[in-house]
Amino acid sequence: MSEKKKAAASYSAESIQVLEGLEAVRKRPAMYIGDIGVKGLHHLVYEVVDNSIDEALAGHCDTIEVRILPDNSISVKDNGRGIPVDMHAKEKRSALEVVMTVLHAGGKFDKDSYKVSGGLHGVGVSCVNALSSHMRTEVYRDGKIHVQEYAMGKPLYPVKEIGTSDQRGTVQTFTPDASIFQVHEYSFDTLSARLRELAYLNKGIKLTLIDERHKDENEAFIQEHFFSEQGLVEFVRYLDGTRQPLIEDVIHMTGEKQSIPVEIAMVYNDSFNENIHSYVNNINTHEGGTHLAGFRRGLTRTLKKYADNSGATAKLKFEISGDDFREGLTAVISVKVAEPQFEGQTKTKLGNNEVMGAVDMAVSEMLENYLEEHPKDAKQIVDKVILAAQARHAARKARELVQRKGAFSGGGLPGKLADCSSRDASACELFLVEGDSAGGTAKQGRNREFQAILPLRGKILNVEKAMQHKILDNEEIRNIYTALGVHIGTEDDPKALNLEKLRYHKIIIMCDADVDGSHIQTLIMTFFYRHMQALIENGYLYIATPPLYLVRKGGQQVYCWTEAEREAAVEKFKAGKETSVNVQRYKGLGEMNAEQLWETTMDPSNRTLRQVTIENGAEADRIFSMLMGDDVPPRREFIEKNAVYAKLDV
Ligand code: 0RA
C-alpha cells in the first residue's frame, strides 16, 4: 500500500468505501455486473433475489415474489426477517442505509448466516442501488414499517418509520438507470428461466414472477409460480422431460466432504448427448471447473470398477473412455463453496482445487452404494456404456477417414463452398444457406472479398438423434467442418475445437422465413449447440433475417420485417387515399434476386443479424432436446407459443 493510500485508510476507511462504492460502480458498471446490455440488466434482479434466497437458506424466509412493473421497474418482496434498521453505532446511521449504500456491506450484520448464494459477481444490493435512477426499500420488522429511498445510490432522506404492520420481510423496488443501460426492457422468459432454476436448486422456496406489463384474457397479470419439493431430482426430470429414460429413478446423491456440501442428481436416457449442468452457490458454472472434473473422475472410476467386477468388460478389445460413461447422461451438480474462486473467460469456471477431491470422493462413495443396491439399473448403465464405447470405436474410423481426406491439412475445401478472398478470419463471414438455388443467388449477391457461401442441401441430419459416427458420415456436416477449418476433436475430447484455425468469425445461418426454413435453422443451430458450443460461446454464430414483405406503389418500395412495419408501409403509401398498394410476401430466399438479397439480408451496413447466445444452459438443453426429439405434442405447443422461427434466442 502506498503512503498516500495508508493515510487515506486510517483517515476514514468507511467514508472512502462509500465514495468508491457509488462512483466506481457507476463509472465502470461492467466491472461489477458483467455488462450493461441484456445480461447486466437482468443481473440486477438476480442480485436482489439472491439476498432473499440467502435469507431463505438461513431458514427465515420461504416466499419470494418478483414483479416486473409497468415501466420495467422491478420489485422483489420476501417474508424474511427484514433488513435491520437500527442505528449502526460506528457509522452513525441506520444499518439499512449501510447495507444499501456501502459496497459489500450486505453480509456483515449477520455473522451466523453462511453466505452461499450471492450473484455471479457477488457485488451486493448497493451495486444495484448505484445503478438505479430510483430505489426504494421497505422493511417490515418488529411490528413496524421503515422505508428509505435513493437516487443513483444516494439516500434521499434518512430511514423513516411510516406505519405499523404484523408482517415481516423486505421489499426492494428499483428502476435501472436508463442512462447506464443500453436496453431497458425485461424479458419475462429470461427471468422465469432463472427463477425456475433457483426453485429447483433451493427446494422448498416459493418463487413467483408477476408481469404487470401484460394481462391475460381474464384481466389478470401474467404470472408464474415456481416451487420444488424435491429439488435437483425434479430439475433432472424437467430437463429430461422429452427424452426416453434408461433407468426409472433419478439417482440422487447428497453428502458433505471437507465441509463442502455436494448434491448431485443424475439419470441416463437413450440419447447420445451428455448434459451436465453444474452450479456453485446457485451460479451456473458454464465453463465447468474443479467440481465438474471431480464428478467426472468419480463417475468414471466407480462405473469402470463396477463394470470390470461384473465381468461385462472382459471381452472388450479396447479401453472404455471417459466420454462413454457420460453418453446419454443428464446430471445436475450443485456444490456450496465458502470462498469460491471463479476463473475463465466469463468467470464461470470454478478454480478451487480442494473441491475436486471432495466431489470425487462424494460421488465415488455414494454411486458405489447406489450400484450395489440397484443391480438392475447398474446393468442397464453398464450395457449403455459398452455400446457407447463400441460406437466411439466405429466413429474413430470415420473421423480418421475425414481427416485423411485432407480437409484439415490445408487443401480440399468443399466443392460447394464459394470462398471469399480475404484470409483475415476476423473479417470473414460464412453464410450457411438453405438450398442450392438460394445458395446461387447468395453467391451472386455477396461481397466476395469477405463473404463466403456454403449451400446446404435440404434438411441436414438431426444430430439430436444420431450417433457420433453417423454424424461424421453426413456430407453436409463434414462440409461445415471443412469449410470452417476446425478439427472434429480428438479421441480424448471429441468436442474440443481448435478455434484458432477457424476461418470465419461470423457464421451466418440464412434460411427461408417459413416453417420449413425455421426447422432447418433449428437443425443447424442444434448441430452447433451440441458439437461446436465453444463457437456460440465466443459469439461467432448468427442468424440472418430476410424481410417478410416487400410493399410497393409506383416507383417506391419498402422492405418490411414485421406485420407492424407492413401495416405502417401500406398506410403511408395510401396516405388516406383509396389506391392499390402491392404487398409481396417473401416466403423463401429464392423469391429475391441477388441484388435484393444483398440489400436486405447480407449488406453489413443495412442487414440485421441476430447473434445466437446461450442465456440459460439448462433451458437451452431442454428446448433443443424437445424441438429435435421424438415427442411431438410438447414441440408443437412450444412452436405455437413461441412462433419459433421469429425468435429462438437461446
Ligand atoms: C442481515 C441481518 C438480518 C437480515 C438480513 C440481513 C436480511 C437481508 C435481506 C435482503 C433481502 N431480504 C433480506 N432479509 C434479511 C437480520 C438479523 C436478525 O434479525 O437478527
CATH number for the domain including 116? 3.30.565.10
Q: How far is the CA of 80 from the centre of ligand 1 (A)?
A: 7
In short, whether 50's Cβ falls inside 6 Å of ligand 1 is no
Q: How far is the CA of 83 from the centre of ligand 1 (A)?
A: 4
Determine which residue's CA is closest to atom 20 belonging to ligand 1.
110
Q: How far is the CA of 452 from the centre of ligand 1 (A)?
A: 57
Q: Is residue 630 part of a domain?
A: no
**Active-site hit among 516, 537, 603, 649:** 516
User: 195 and 250 in one domain?
Assistant: no
**Active-site hit among 14, 110, 368, 514:** 514
Q: Any idea of the CA torsion for 153, 157, 160, 165, to the nearest 10 degrees?
A: -50
Q: What is the chain's length?
A: 650
Whole-number Å distance between alpha carbons of 5 and 487: 52
In short, whether 110's Cβ falls inside 6 Å of ligand 1 is yes
User: 212 and 359 in one domain?
Assistant: no
In short, whether 137's Cβ falls inside 6 Å of ligand 1 is no
Determine which residue's CA is closest to atom 12 belonging to ligand 1.
52
User: 218 and 291 in one domain?
Assistant: no
For the chain, what is the domain count? 2
Taking CA atoms, 417 is separated from 414, 439, 448, 483, 497, in Å, by: 5, 10, 12, 7, 21
Among 395, 418, 451, which residue terminates a domain? 395
Residue 434 known to be catalytic: yes
User: 41 and 148 in one domain?
Assistant: yes
Q: What is the pLDDT of residue 10?
A: 40
Determine which residue's CA is closest to atom 2 belonging to ligand 1.
110
Q: How far is the CA of 103 from the centre of ligand 1 (A)?
A: 16
In short, whether 83's Cβ falls inside 6 Å of ligand 1 is yes
User: 155 and 241 in one domain?
Assistant: no
User: 297 and 222 in one domain?
Assistant: no
**Residue 62 CB partners (closer than 8 Å, separation 6+):** 56, 79, 204, 205, 206
Q: How far is the CA of 100 from the centre of ligand 1 (A)?
A: 12
Residue 512 known to be catalytic: yes
Q: Is residue 158 part of a domain?
A: yes
Give the mutation target among 44, 47, 55 for probing the ligand 1 site: most ligand atoms within 8 A of CB. 55
Q: What is the pLDDT of residue 409?
A: 43
User: 192 and 248 in one domain?
Assistant: no
Best CA proximity match to 205, nearest among 69, 115, 79: 79
Q: Is residue 126 part of a domain?
A: yes
Full residue range of the structural domain in which residue 197 is found: 3-226
Q: Is residue 77 part of a domain?
A: yes
Whole-number Å distance between alpha carbons of 430 and 437: 17
Q: What is the pLDDT of residue 492?
A: 52
Q: Is residue 140 part of a domain?
A: yes
Q: Is residue 552 part of a domain?
A: no
Question: What global pTM score does this model have?
Answer: 0.83
Whole-number Å distance between alpha carbons of 340 and 291: 11
Q: Is residue 388 part of a domain?
A: yes
User: 162 and 266 in one domain?
Assistant: no
Residue bearing cell 408443437: 636
Q: How far is the CA of 244 from the centre of ligand 1 (A)?
A: 44
CATH number at residue 285: 3.30.230.10
Half-sphere exposure of 258 (CA within 13 A, CB side): 14
Point out the residues of the chain with pLDDT beneath 70: 1-21, 105-123, 398-399, 401-411, 458, 488-496, 638-650
User: 358 and 310 in one domain?
Assistant: yes
Q: What is the pLDDT of residue 469?
A: 73
Among 174, 198, 226, which residue terminates a domain? 226
User: 199 and 216 in one domain?
Assistant: yes
pLDDT tens figures, 562-616: 899 999 999 999 887 888 899 998 888 988 999 999 999 999 999 999 999 888 8
User: 14 and 115 in one domain?
Assistant: yes
**Active-site hit among 324, 512, 619, 621:** 512
Best CA proximity match to 467, nearest among 373, 414, 512, 531: 531
Whole-number Å distance between alpha carbons of 202 and 56: 9
- How many helices, marked H, and strands, marked E, lie in the chain? 20, 26
Residue 120 φ/ψ, nearest 5 degrees: -50, -45
User: 365 and 324 in one domain?
Assistant: yes
Among 380, 395, 410, which residue terminates a domain? 395
What grid cell was written down for 543? 442468424
In short, whether 78's Cβ falls inside 6 Å of ligand 1 is yes
Element (H, E) at 371: helix 353-373
Best CA proximity match to 594, nearest among 444, 384, 387, 372: 444
Q: Is residue 172 part of a domain?
A: yes
Determine which residue's CA is closest to atom 7 belonging to ligand 1.
83
Contact 530, 601 (CB under 8 A): no
pLDDT tens figures, 543-570: 999 999 999 998 899 999 989 999 999 9
Whole-number Å distance between alpha carbons of 617 and 286: 7
